Amino acid sequence: MRRILLGALAAGAVALVGAVVLGEFAFNGWTVLISAGVLGLATSEAAVSVARVRSSLLAVVTAAATAAALVAAGWVSTGHQLAALAPSAWLAIATGTAIAAVRAGRPMSPASSPRGTSPSPSHRSEPGPEQDPFDPDPRCQES
């Protein structure tokens, strides 16, 4: 739980820096959509890197931090008038928030993967207790 708290603090720090930087530029058009996505990704990456785990709690925290940062940047950019934000800015806020939540949230289980299949146990990436890691796999040797 301590690492998740530290991850949340890291997300808040990245979001704060992002809000300061993005507030200095025009908050409309394609650039805001791209920068909001990058901020959402950076915020969630900071949180996941520090916490070393993806969780629902971390997803909510990073999404909230990203949304707050983007709204604050829009507020500063428009001269403290959120009503002046363009529709693309609101779309960017939603996009950045969603990216942060998805990246920091729990990963999909193998059963719900897009293909619906999980790797078979015979294709292990790590050697089992009975297999020497330096001996080649006998199934892969040619005769």
Give tens-digit pLDDT for 30-85: 999 999 999 999 999 999 999 999 999 999 999 999 999 999 999 999 999 989 89
Range of the domain at 32: 2-108
Give the chain's domain count: 1
* Residue 48 within any structural domain of the chain: yes
* Residue 134 within any structural domain of the chain: no
Neighbours of 67 (CB within 10 A): 21
* Residue 118 within any structural domain of the chain: no
Mean pLDDT over each residue of the chain, to the nearest integer? 84
* Residue 114 within any structural domain of the chain: no
* Residue 104 within any structural domain of the chain: yes
Confidence of residue 106 (pLDDT cuts 50, 70, 90): confident
* Residue 103 within any structural domain of the chain: yes
pLDDT value of residue 28? 84
Q: Are 48 and 58 in contact (CB under 8 A)?
A: yes
* Residue 69 within any structural domain of the chain: yes
* Residue 120 within any structural domain of the chain: no
Is the pTM higher than 0.95? The answer reads: no
Q: Which of 31, 53, 64 is nearest to 105 (CA)?
A: 53
Q: C-alpha 19: how far from its chain's center?
A: 17
